[in-house]
Structure 1
């Protein structure tokens, strides 16, 4: 494969950032927004029956691994992927591959990565990073959300790769075994846009896409009456955490997707995509405003229905904006 030194670029989100850095290492230049868009990464779901650290799960992006799988499929990249039954097997396999000079993508838990500040280390098991070598017993790490490369000791890396909980990473590692010298982005961009519109507008279940934002809005309004003051703050706090701290955050994903549409507008010579990109950044601002107001409610432990009702209305505003945006995007003729 390629034995050039690994080039680290800081990105907004771990999965699309690893795609950009890994494929770039093999000469296939793809920006983080382009990877996110081709992989149809923008999404929304609220899953009260899927508990994350004991509270209902909310996601502002497609499930972990989907962006990677879609980008590789659409660009003709072949990946070797493996999971392991024990840390010993997983670490031995990693050592074997990096000894050949091949950078390896890993799934990990943020909690066990010592180079993160303590306030950012919590139990989130779907963080992607790249290990590109080993020196003096330390693994050399390119974590796309960090501004520079770093190192990690074997014990911490093994803990991060084999953390318990949902979803269990099981030592997952992946690396390219075939990267095309050139790839046309036009068709993958169109397919990514069409898939994102479908997932945001057409899934028939109420927890997903634009329907999912409205579903969350209705639940938030009733939190104080249904789960009490303490749980209301915990539930709302997790919605904010998933929006503003996990990877890029809900608003951040909207800004990344807007950047993708700007690139796509140039690539496909479609000015209307550029206009839609500007519109989506305004939706990102709506999400940021919601997070700010929700944070204030959490900190004050205010359990009066007025505050939660206002938050519910802000979410309904986000839903209306996203529905209008994706309907217009779905109508773009390619």
Structure 2
């Protein structure tokens, strides 16, 4: 049975999690710029990670996956409903029940399995929104560089949602809905920036925040060796 939200307009963004939230918010009648969403979500971070089982070190410039969406929702006084399950069938039904009610759903995925991704690299921390499905395809809203509105086969979507590995979740899906009036943006922005700065200056481990930058700088000679061709 087909459940497709007609006239769905994509939110044009370049970062997957803010784009996913932008799509859900825009559908709910809340239009904010991507930089604003990134700031409200306290998105700025730094992580440097290197271990023996990694081919090369990982350097990232944002907070952990899932936190950005939750923090945006909290700052905007929105209800952020998250569902996870180890069952592929239950995961499908969770999404289908929302689509039947005309509600688009955010998904966390391994982009490797999606038909429309041409860069086939495993990354299980990718986010996109599903706004419809029929007997064969899922209809997706993704980042501008991926093409905005796209589709992927349902079996490929199931594989992407159920993938294991770094940054993966158990078929995670999420929706948002207003819990009341939107709060004034100025104090929300100030509070988010203040908390983001505090977290950056007080990281829980030496590999994160400003301490992570210093550690990456100290290891830069070894990082350069990794980048040389064999």
TM-score normalized by structure 1? 0.62
Counterpart in the other structure of 1:196: 196
Write out per-residue CA displacement over residues 123-169 of structure 1, whole angstroms, 9 at most, x where no aligned residue. 11010000001235311100124333011111000000001212222
Aligned to 1:24: 26
Residue number in structure 2 paired with 1:332 = none
Within 5 A, what are the aligned runs for 1:16-165?
A: 16-49=18-51, 54-117=55-118, 120-145=119-144, 146-165=146-165
Runs ≥4 in structure 1, deviation > 6 angstroms?
Answer: none
Task: State the Cα distance separating 1:97 from its structure 2 match.
Answer: 1.6
Which whole-Å deviations, capped at 9, do the CAs of 1:280-332 have from their partners, x for residues lacking one? Answer: xxxxxxxxxxxxxxxxxx4xx28xxxxxxxxxxxxxxxxxxxxxxxxxxxxxx
> How far apart, CA to CA, are the structure 2 residues paired with 1:100 and 1:50?
48
CA RMSD, aligned part only?
A: 2.2
Provide the residue aligned with 1:187 in structure 2. 187
Aligned equivalents of 2:134, 2:86: Cα separation in 1: 26
More strand by share: 2
Q: Distance in 1 between matches of 2:182 and 2:216?
A: 43
User: Are the counterparts in 2 of residues 28 and 179 from structure 1 also a CA contact under 8 Å?
Assistant: no
Q: Which runs of 5+ in 1 are unaligned?
A: 234-297, 303-334
Q: CA deviation at 1:121?
A: 2.0
Q: Distance in 2 between matches of 1:16 and 1:189?
A: 16
Instruction: Name the larger-Rg structure.
Output: 1
Q: Which residue of 2 aligns with 1:171?
A: 171
Q: Could you tell me which runs of 5 or more consecutive residues in structure 2 were left unpaired when the two chains were aligned.
A: none
TM-score by length of 2: 0.89
Report the number of matched residues.
225
1:191–1:43 CA distance, 2 compared to 1 (3 A): same
